[in-house]
Amino acid sequence: MGTRLDFSMVRILGEDCRAVDGGHELALTAYVAQVDGDRLVEHAAVARVTETFAGWDPQDYQRANLKLHRALAARVAELALAARREEG
């Protein structure tokens, strides 16, 4: 049996936040479990999203972070749907 991605096990890691002109750039990466039969092999990066936001206050960051998590969740859902279609 070959390895496959199991979209029921998603990790969101790799938050990067860096200062840019006028605000910050925030990025998140989604990792999905790669399984082989009944073994968890690793988590593979499947999507990365980036958001640039103006401002320096905590609420600016929190607003952008929520938007970013929602965008990443939507992207992972799209990838999961495509994977199910490929499986038949």
pTM: 0.85
pLDDT at 56: 79
- pLDDT value of residue 88: 76
Check residues 50 and 88 and name the one with the higher pLDDT: 50
Q: In which band, very low, low, confident or very high, does the pLDDT at 1 lie, cut at 50, 70 and 90? A: low
Provide the domain count of the chain: 1
Sheet holding 39-54, edge to edge: 3-20, 23-36, 39-54
pLDDT digits (tens, 9 = 90+) for 29-82: 999 999 999 999 999 999 999 999 987 788 988 999 999 999 999 999 999 999
Residue 24 pLDDT exceeds 70: yes
Q: pLDDT tens-digit profile of 5-21?
A: 999 999 998 789 998 98
- Note down the domain range covering 38: 3-87
Determine what percent of the chain falls in helix, strand and coil, rounding each to the nearest 5: 35, 55, 10
